[in-house]
């Protein structure tokens, strides 16, 4: 702990040395206000931004006789240059020559107000008087207009920068379902959700998190469906964050999750707008973070990590079977190597004689105990996987060839690994990819090693104790006030319709009970819900 404290102290001293970016102090009110002289303002901006080359300051003269000095300031690369030229510069430099600006000036409305209300042909425009607001808007990509002789300015929103379009999400793919995924721009992302849910009750709250990055964070929920306590809780947790930077929603997730030390995720994340829309309709809250395509959804339940969006687009029967298969694969991924170690080193009596002899024959000449053997293979696989994720794509094929050698028959032929162990490790590896979300697969990956160790020292008995401990842990978790294991524990019969199996849509009358408490009805529970062919009379 001492180490961390020291580091904190250092950071404190560093930040006190550099000039504070955000000036909140009441005493410094005067310094924060804009100057009356244009030149003073410009030099102040230059000082604050360290004469950064991408800050463009253009000084122009307006009015009929060009007597009014004005400055246009913007950040190159973040501003839409055509609109700057067509609508701002053109208006100011050409239109104001014919337009009698001074005549419009009244005691209530000064020149800045006249410009704003009569001249500028742009959409979003605001008056500013504070210097920190000016800097913030400037660095967000807005264009600032300052006029000599006024301690006021105008901000025109014409942000535009190069960004990735809406492409197919790569982390959660489906065979049937929408192909669009979120992008890095939070505005595009909220638009994608609005396109799916056109309810006026879909509310959006905006926040700025990160003292230096000033990242836009948006909260989305459907008012009237969402549990207000959850929204309030999310707001509070977001407000509690005081950090210099938020670069990805993962940063937020770590700062707001319920059980930071648990391997299990209590915040769901997705790249898919349809998943977010479905979650909103269930009464969850979405947290969108600017700069990342991954949107957070809370509260997140254990069962949610096994539900793919495709489950709801496919037929209910196959979706149910596939979901059961996922749970089965989850158990394999968690326990297969542990069970294999336990059975072959402690409980040989559990194997049929023919299988026992066959396994014993494979183990002849293998120099390692089964546990070490399994560890070698599992760690090799983890190395291969990690290498595969981080490597440039062009080297990928070379690695898969080498990888297949290491983990495959070569290891068996070399006599250091038994063939059965290769099979067990392979099926475990494949099973861990079955989970539709990556997060739960990570939890399984870590726990698998714990179970292998406990199996090697205590056998099946140890695995049983481990499972009891795991279930106790899972049942003790909560995500934003909702029990993590619901609707299994606490058991809720009505919510079983979408837990291990998925009933057809015409059978899903209510939203999940524990997430949502005020508007439970999805569709009226009437006989008309079930589709019926119209009767034809012969």
Give the residue with the Cβ less far from other proteins, 360 or 402: 360
* Least distance CB 320 / other proteins (angstroms): 34
* Least distance CB 169 / other proteins (angstroms): 38
491: left (phi over 0), alpha (psi -120 to 50) or beta: beta
Between CA 298 and CA 231 the distance in angstroms is 9
Between CA 460 and CA 455 the distance in angstroms is 6
* Least distance CB 356 / other proteins (angstroms): 6
Name the β-bridge partners of 521. Answer: 510
* Least distance CB 403 / other proteins (angstroms): 24
Note whether 308 and 321 are within 8 A (CB): no
Residue with tokens 């490790």: 425
Q: What angle do CA 277, 302, 459 make, to 5 degrees?
A: 155
* Least distance CB 45 / other proteins (angstroms): 56
Residue with tokens 């006021």: 152
Between CA 440 and CA 301 the distance in angstroms is 11
Helices vs. strands in the chain: H and E counts, helices first: 20, 12
Between CA 355 and CA 331 the distance in angstroms is 22
Give the residue with the Cβ less far from other proteins, 288 or 339: 339
* Least distance CB 421 / other proteins (angstroms): 11
Cα–chain center distance at 389: 19
Give the residue with the Cβ less far from other proteins, 391 or 468: 468
- What are residue 246's phi and psi, to 5 degrees? -120, 115
Give the residue with the Cβ less far from other proteins, 154 or 341: 341
Q: What is the DSSP letter of 85?
A: I
Give the residue with the Cβ less far from other proteins, 348 or 523: 348
* Least distance CB 500 / other proteins (angstroms): 26
Give the residue with the Cβ less far from other proteins, 462 or 487: 462
Q: Closest Cα partner for 337 from 302, 305, 381, 303?
A: 381
Q: Which long-range contacts (CB under 8 A, 24 or more apart) does 241-244 make?
A: 241/209, 241/210, 242/211, 243/209, 243/210, 243/211, 244/210, 244/211, 244/212, 244/213
Q: Closest Cα partner for 302 from 493, 490, 504, 433?
A: 490
Give the residue with the Cβ less far from other proteins, 191 or 361: 361
* Least distance CB 343 / other proteins (angstroms): 10
Note whether 307 and 436 are within 8 A (CB): yes
Half-sphere exposure at residue 455, Cβ-oriented, CA atoms within 13 angstroms: 28
Half-sphere exposure at residue 243, Cβ-oriented, CA atoms within 13 angstroms: 16
* Least distance CB 431 / other proteins (angstroms): 24
Please report, as ranges, the residues that interact with other proteins according to CB under 8 A: 344-346, 348-349, 353, 356-366, 369-370, 454, 456-459, 461-462, 465, 468-469, 472, 476
Give the residue with the Cβ less far from other proteins, 200 or 365: 365
Give the residue with the Cβ less far from other proteins, 247 or 471: 471
3-state SS assignment for residue 482: strand
Between CA 493 and CA 234 the distance in angstroms is 28
* Least distance CB 266 / other proteins (angstroms): 17
* Least distance CB 350 / other proteins (angstroms): 9
């Amino acid at each position: 702990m001492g180490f961390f404290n020291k580091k904190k102290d250092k950071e404190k001293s560093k930040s006190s040395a550099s000039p504070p970016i955000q000036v909140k102090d009441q005493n410094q009110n005067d310094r924060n206000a804009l100057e009356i002289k244009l030149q003073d303002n410009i030099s102040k901006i230059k000082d604050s931004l360290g004469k950064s080359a991408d800050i463009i300051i253009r000084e122009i003269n307006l009015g009929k006789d060009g007597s009014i000095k004005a400055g246009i300031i913007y950040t190159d690369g973040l501003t839409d240059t055509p609109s700057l030229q067509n609508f701002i510069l053109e208006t100011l430099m050409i239109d104001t020559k014919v337009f009698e600006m001074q005549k419009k000036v009244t005691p209530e409305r000064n020149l800045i107000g006249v410009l704003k209300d009569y001249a500028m042909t742009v959409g979003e425009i605001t008056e500013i008087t504070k210097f920190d607001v000016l800097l913030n808007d400037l660095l967000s990509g807005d264009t600032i207009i300052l006029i000599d002789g006024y301690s006021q300015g105008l901000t025109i929103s014409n942000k535009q920068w190069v960004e990735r379009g809406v492409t197919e999400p790569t982390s959660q793919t489906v065979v049937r379902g929408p192909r669009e995924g979120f992008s890095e721009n939070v505005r595009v992302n909220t638009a994608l959700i609005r396109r799916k849910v056109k309810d006026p009750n879909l509310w959006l709250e905006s926040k700025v998190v990160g003292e230096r990055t000033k990242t836009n964070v948006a909260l989305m929920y459907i008012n009237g469906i969402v549990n207000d306590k959850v929204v309030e809780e999310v707001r509070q947790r977001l407000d509690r964050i005081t950090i210099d930077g938020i670069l990805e929603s993962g940063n937020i997730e770590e700062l707001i999750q319920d059980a930071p030390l648990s391997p299990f995720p209590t915040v769901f994340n997705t790249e898919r707008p349809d998943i977010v829309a479905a979650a909103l309709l269930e009464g969850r809250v979405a947290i969108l973070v600017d700069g990342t395509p991954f949107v957070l959804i809370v509260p997140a339940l254990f069962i949610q990590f096994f539900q793919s969006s495709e489950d709801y687009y496919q037929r209910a029967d196959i979706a149910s079977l596939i979901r059961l298969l996922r749970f089965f694969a989850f158990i394999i991924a968690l326990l297969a190597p542990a069970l294999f170690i336990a059975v072959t080193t402690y409980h040989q009596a559990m194997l049929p004689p023919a299988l026992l002899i066959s396994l014993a024959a494979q183990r002849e000449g293998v120099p390692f105990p089964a546990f070490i053997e399994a560890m070698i293979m599992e760690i090799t696989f983890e190395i291969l996987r990690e290498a595969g994720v981080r490597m440039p794509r062009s080297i990928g094929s070379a690695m898969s060839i080498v990888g297949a050698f290491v983990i495959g028959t070569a290891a068996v032929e070399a006599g250091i690994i038994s063939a059965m162990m290769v099979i067990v490790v392979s099926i475990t590896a494949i099973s861990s990819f079955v989970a539709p979300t990556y997060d739960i697969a990570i939890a399984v990956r870590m726990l698998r090693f714990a179970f292998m160790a406990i199996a090697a020292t205590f056998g099946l008995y140890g695995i049983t104790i481990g499972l009891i401990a795991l279930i106790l842990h899972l049942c003790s978790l909560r995500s934003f006030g909702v029990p993590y294991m619901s609707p299994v524990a606490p058991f809720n019969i009505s919510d079983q319709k979408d837990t291990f199996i998925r009933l057809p849509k015409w059978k899903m009358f209510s939203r999940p009970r524990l997430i949502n408490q005020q508007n439970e009805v999805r569709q009226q529970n009437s006989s008309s819900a079930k589709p019926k062919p119209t009767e034809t009379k012969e």
